[in-house]
Chain A
């Protein structure tokens, strides 16, 4: 199953990537699973996605919790807590 993954702000800078199309390995079906999968790339990936307190996620542009399911074609985003206003 293929998803589109976006990175914003400090997360984007740390991993050095803004967006990617990703073929998920079998068994990865939640935000938490995707995070572990990305962290297994090591280095900056392991670090940038390490602290769940400093990480927010969205699926199809809705903020969700780590337990949220992801499906084929979804747009998933990782970013730090927001600081607008």
Chain B
């Protein structure tokens, strides 16, 4: 399992290769989040961020058969089209890998302490949390 919170970009191909080394793994489900439209700065709570993501991944492991998992989340200044987040889940079959990947993303959205500040033409503004993200996370209960 790998959890990284970093300013640097990541290489999805390399991450998938690193996660697929066990010959029992038959499926890797991958989600990549990108910056849409406007440049932004991402702030986080060092320490708690890694801890919160670790707990979400652990929870996914109690619900589905997760053989390996990589979560990378960036912080700092990001521009449109930049990669923000990677969630890659490896399992024996696709069902568990897909479900665990979606679960981790839905929970990360509401539990991991990151905050986006967008640089709009009218000035910088903090992105507001969406009610639909809370609903998505709650749907797994």
Interface residues of B, Cβ cutoff 8 Å to A: 33, 42-45, 47-48, 51-52, 73, 84-85, 105, 108-117, 126-129, 133
Known: A62-B51, A79-B115, A82-B115. 16 other contacts (CB 8 A): A8-B113, A9-B43, A9-B115, A58-B48, A58-B113, A77-B48, A80-B115, A82-B113, A83-B109, A84-B85, A84-B114, A84-B115, A85-B33, A85-B73, A85-B108, A85-B133
Question: Are A85 and B113 in contact (CB-based, < 8 A)?
Answer: no
Interface residues of A, Cβ cutoff 8 Å to B: 6, 8-10, 58, 61-63, 77, 79-85
Contact of A9 among B48, B73, B112, B126 (CB under 8 A): B126
Question: Are B44 and A84 in contact (CB-based, < 8 A)?
Answer: yes
Question: Are A85 and B47 in contact (CB-based, < 8 A)?
Answer: no
The interface residues of chain A lying within 8 Å CB-to-CB of B85 are: 84-85
The interface residues of chain B lying within 8 Å CB-to-CB of A8 are: 43, 45, 113, 115
Contact of B129 among A6, A58, A63, A82 (CB under 8 A): A82
The interface residues of chain A lying within 8 Å CB-to-CB of B42 are: 84
- 25 A-B Cβ contacts within 8 A? A8-B113, A8-B115, A9-B43, A10-B115, A58-B45, A61-B47, A61-B51, A62-B51, A77-B48, A79-B45, A79-B115, A80-B126, A81-B110, A81-B128, A82-B115, A82-B129, A83-B115, A83-B129, A84-B42, A84-B73, A84-B84, A84-B115, A85-B112, A85-B114, A85-B133
**Known contacts A8-B113, A61-B51, A63-B52; A83/B128 CB under 8 A:** yes
The interface residues of chain B lying within 8 Å CB-to-CB of A84 are: 42, 44, 73, 84-85, 108-109, 112-116
The interface residues of chain B lying within 8 Å CB-to-CB of A61 are: 45, 47-48, 51-52
The interface residues of chain A lying within 8 Å CB-to-CB of B51 are: 61-62
Question: Are A85 and B48 in contact (CB-based, < 8 A)?
Answer: no
Question: Are B112 and A77 in contact (CB-based, < 8 A)?
Answer: no
Question: Are A85 and B115 in contact (CB-based, < 8 A)?
Answer: no
The interface residues of chain A lying within 8 Å CB-to-CB of B43 are: 8-9
- Chain A residue at smallest Cβ distance from B50: A61
